[in-house]
């Protein structure tokens, strides 16, 4: 096993765990830090932010099947969403029908993950490309999801609209992209 020192902090690491940057060998931690500092210094942050917005809009349009269908599609999605159904169920003050042998999963109604599995995988690839290890990446995604759900619950108690909540959740996602 070849070991090598990180040029910045001196930490000894397996060579395959070190990353090359501008002629230096850096451990994952230093690599991430250097990249982060660099990012904050450059206008790249705003560039990426714009690109993210564009991608998000494009993604929404694509799933709607064109820009002209976007409004209707979003309305429909909202009506089909768990939030709407839960809200409707609450306002109607009705009882969920009990079907013999089927346990109603209340947990699945409560947990509202903003990211689809595909989005998580994309994020995973992206963050690992930036130099995070698999474990670090999983940790960050977990934090993001729990932070998103915390914000969601908080904003619900403040009677914020679904759109406002989604926007805030997207901001959190952006922050992770821009780490």
Among 6-14, 49-57, 138-146, 161-169, which window interacts with Zn ion (CB under 5 A)?
Answer: 6-14
Q: Alpha-carbon distance 68 to 66, whole Å? A: 6
Interface map 92-131 toward Zn ion (x if CB under 5 A) = ----------------------------------------
Which residue in the set 9, 57, 104, 126 belongs to the binding site for Zn ion (CB under 5 A)? 9
Residue with tokens 């996602």: 173
Size of the site for Zn ion (CB under 5 A): 6
Task: Classify the C-alpha dihedral 121-122-125-128 as positive or negative.
Answer: negative
Among 20-28, 39-47, 88-96, 147-155, which window interacts with Zn ion (CB under 5 A)?
Answer: 20-28
**30/145 with CB nearer Zn ion:** 30
Query: What distances in angstroms separate CA 134 from CA 114, 117, 139, 163, one per listed residue?
Result: 21, 16, 9, 32
Q: Does 8 bind Zn ion (CB under 5 A)?
A: yes
* Cβ contacts of 74 within 8 Å, gap of 6 or more: 60, 64
Q: Alpha-carbon distance 138 to 39, whole Å? A: 22
Kindly state the DSSP code that residue 26 receives in the 8-state scheme. E
Which residue in the set 18, 30, 32, 173 belongs to the binding site for Zn ion (CB under 5 A)? 30
Q: Does 14 bind Zn ion (CB under 5 A)?
A: no
User: Does residue 105 contact residue 82 with C-beta atoms inside 8 Å?
Assistant: no
Q: Smallest distance from the beta carbon of 132 to Zn ion, in angstroms?
A: 14
**30/144 with CB nearer Zn ion:** 30
**Interface residues with Zn ion (CB under 5 A)?**
6, 8-9, 11, 27, 30
């Amino acid at each position: 096993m070849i070991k090598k020192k990180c040029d910045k902090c001196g930490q000894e690491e397996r060579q395959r765990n070190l990353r090359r940057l501008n002629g230096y060998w850096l451990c994952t931690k230093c690599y991430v830090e250097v990249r982060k500092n660099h990012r904050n210094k450059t206008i790249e942050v705003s560039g990426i932010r714009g690109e993210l917005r564009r991608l998000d809009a494009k993604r929404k349009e694509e799933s709607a099947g064109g820009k002209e269908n976007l409004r209707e599609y979003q309305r429909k999605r909202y009506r089909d969403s768990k939030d709407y159904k839960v809200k409707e169920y609450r306002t109607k003050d009705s009882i969920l029908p009990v079907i013999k042998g089927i346990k109603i999963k209340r947990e699945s109604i409560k947990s509202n993950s903003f990211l689809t599995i595909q989005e998580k995988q994309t994020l995973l690839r992206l963050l690992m490309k930036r130099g995070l290890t698999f474990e670090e990446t999983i940790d960050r995604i977990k934090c993001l999801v729990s932070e998103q759900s915390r914000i969601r619950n908080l904003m619900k108690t403040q009677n914020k609209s679904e759109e406002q909540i989604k926007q805030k959740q997207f901001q959190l996602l952006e922050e992770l992209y821009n780490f």
